[in-house]
Amino acid sequence: MSTPVTGHDQPAERMPAGPLIVTEDEALAEHLLRLCAAAGTDPLLVCGEPPPRQLWESATLVLVGDDLAERCAGYARRPGVLLLGLDLDDSEIWVRAVQLGAEHVLFLPDAEGWLLDRIADAAEGAGPPALTVAVLGGRGGAGASTLACALAVTAARAGHRTMLVDADPLGGGLDILLGGEGASGLRWPDLAASRGRVSGAELTRALPVLHRLTTLSWDRGDTPAVPPEAMRSVLGAARRQGGLVVVDLPRHLDQAAGQALEQSDVALLVVPAEVRATAAAGRVAAAARMRLTDVRAVVRATGPTGLAGAEIARGLRMRLAGELPQEPGLTVDVERGIPPGIRERGPLARFCGSFLDEVMPPVPAVGGGVC
């Protein structure tokens, strides 16, 4: 727990690793310190004179007790300042919040859950959430898992922070498709009891890394059901890390898969270019659209006489994400532990690269000159 210091006794060169807490109220300080500990961050508590401006400006988050709000009102405006009220009946607190430049006025314990999330976000350096792409098949064996793996492999190769989440407990395990079933790290059975807030950084460190991407899959034992609460917590942690999250979903959406779809930004429905597959895909698409509006068709070629992709997408009343030609040698590659999408010039990698160029922001260049 942080050691209280007075503002001007704090060495100027020591920057707070976590939130800056400014209050002389012992009960409020203790409450805020407990929340910071729960979020896994080490705050700096300043009790006495207001902190030096350098600390105020550099802290990841500033939590100001209303008892010191007026003394801090002269600081320059900055994002991430929260005012903690001490009296629910004090209407003047809103005036002090404006003078302070506070983003929010909070009262504990009512706002405890929201504040805990905000502290944890600051501790993780939360930026824009990951683009989350769900992939599901229009019929059994459509190739959804293959496409999900190829998307993740292609994104990681392009330099995007990437996580691949296997949300299909009966799919056989995406770690096998990546040739890493023996890799050390947590699997879904280890996380099935997750509730509430999960640290994105801790999750990333605990999972296997295969082909430069983080993977959450299943083990080879009995398959437990993943509660929707666990899916929500784990996927939320993955999204907070930024980059790209690819989720492989089953065709029959259970509660956990439905929760994953609701957290996704776009879904790709893989449809083989066949009449029966298109009919089956219509039912899957209807179920998916109840959870997510942006569901696009990926039409996979099955032979020279297959239906046209535009025709299939029109029949499904969906946007066509693209057509996926057959990839020679794919089956042999998978049997040898060579993941889909690893061949940069193959149809899978080309399709995935084109799709990612459309939906993902470019990876910032390393180095570079001055314009």
Dihedrals φ, ψ of 249, to 5°?
A: -110, 150
Query: How many Å is the maximal CA-CA distance in the chain?
Result: 79
Q: Which two tokens stand for residue 350?
A: 């080309």
Query: pTM of this prediction?
Result: 0.74
- Using one digit for the tens of pLDDT, what is the confidence trace for 318-341? 999 999 988 888 888 888 888 999
- Using one digit for the tens of pLDDT, what is the confidence trace for 122-176? 877 656 789 999 999 999 888 999 999 999 999 999 999 999 999 998 888 898 8
Q: Are strands 213-216 and 209-210 parallel, antiparallel or unpaired?
A: antiparallel
- Using one digit for the tens of pLDDT, what is the confidence trace for 220-277? 777 667 899 999 989 988 998 889 999 999 999 999 999 999 999 999 999 998 889 9
Alpha helices, DSSP H only, in the chain? 26-38, 53-58, 93-100, 112-123, 144-157, 174-177, 188-191, 200-206, 228-240, 255-262, 275-289, 309-316, 330-335, 347-359
Q: Is the pLDDT of residue 367 over 90?
A: no
If one counts every other C-beta atom within 10 angstroms of the C-beta of residue 89, the result is 6
Dihedrals φ, ψ of 67, to 5°?
A: -65, -25
Q: Which residues pair with 137 in a beta bridge?
A: 270
CA dihedral 313, 314, 318, 322 (to 10 degrees): 30
> Is the backbone of residue 277 left (phi > 0), alpha (psi -120 to 50) or beta?
alpha
